[in-house]
Amino acid sequence: MKIIGTYLSPYVRKVLVVLDLKGLSYEIDPIIPFLGDERFAGLSPLRRIPVLIDGAVTLSDSSIICQYLEDRYPKPALYPVDLADRARARWLEEYADTRMGEVFIWQLFNQVAINPYVWGKKPDEAALAKTTTEEMPQVLDYLEAQVPQQGFLFGDLSIADISIAAFFRNAAFARFRVDTERWPLTAAFAGRVLGLEAFARLKPYEDRLMRTPIPKHRSVLTEMGAPLTSETYATVTPRRGIMRI
């Protein structure tokens, strides 16, 4: 299998964790979506990551990819068996992908990482302040009412736990820390899930890329022994996607 998309994306991170938990090997083309060439646009018409290539099957959108992996490789199961729990897990995955994606990525990580290093734009300090004082607390208030005091959301680890936790890595990259007094359950939950080996194995690559200029991402990952594809869909000219989220 091949995965197209950078280790720094929460959506890519979600898929890589699922692959790891299911014991599936893969190669990765760690491109920034804004720097994908025309061939990439042919695989992902919205110019979003990740993309999965599995033989004759090509899929984009992390939720579709994870459901495909679950259907094809059902053990260990990452979706609850109970019908109501499965529906709720899918809702929480959707909440993570959309609402957390909007706030954690486009309003926070975009300001401190994507705008300056891809588009050469300075962070909008007023927008950042609104995000951290209004938008982030709204998300965390909701999560605080959803996550358990111990363990995972549905007993066994599920796609909901993985999806939510993936975004807290990007929040940390943007130097945002969850207030453990105001949101103790959420802070503990995120730490618990991110502490799993499947997440921990990705951490060295992520940390190194955050300290590396984008044009050198592939070369440093080669030095680290990452399972890279032999070819890349990367280009040097940034191009915006069709949709923001």
pLDDT digits (tens, 9 = 90+) for 11-48: 999 999 999 999 999 999 999 988 888 999 899 999 89
- Which residue in 45, 36, 39, 41 sits closest to 9, CA to CA? 36
Amino acid identity, residue 29? D
What stretches in the chain show pLDDT beneath 50? 245
Give me the CATH topology for the region 2-77+213-224: Glutaredoxin (3.40.30)
Task: Evaluate the CA torsion angle 168, 169, 175, 181 in order and state its sign.
Answer: positive
| Phi and psi angles of residue 29, each rounded to the nearest 5 degrees, phi first | -105, 95
Domain ranges for the chain: 2-77+213-224, 83-198
Task: Evaluate the CA torsion angle 178, 181, 182, 185 in order and state its sign.
Answer: positive
Q: Quote the CA–CA distance of 178 and 132 in Å, as a whole number.
A: 10
- DSSP letters, 103-167, are IIIIIIIIIIIIIIIII-----HHHHHHIIIIIHHHHHHHHHTTS-SSSBTBBB--HHHHHHHHH
Q: What is the pLDDT of residue 245?
A: 45
Strands 57-60, 2-4: parallel, antiparallel or unpaired by DSSP? Answer: unpaired
Q: What is the pLDDT of residue 77?
A: 97
Q: What is the pLDDT of residue 194?
A: 98
Q: What is the pLDDT of residue 236?
A: 83
Specify the 3-state DSSP secondary structure of 228: strand
Q: What is the pLDDT of residue 172?
A: 93
Between the alpha carbon of residue 82 and those of residues 79, 88, 89, 214, the distances in Å are 9, 10, 10, 43
The model's pTM is: 0.93
Between the alpha carbon of residue 46 and those of residues 42, 61, 99, 209, the distances in Å are 9, 10, 19, 24
Give me the CATH topology for the region 83-198: Glutathione S-transferase Yfyf (Class Pi); Chain A, domain 2 (1.20.1050)
Question: Any idea what DSSP says for residue 216?
Answer: G
C-beta separation of 185 from 4 below 8 A:
no
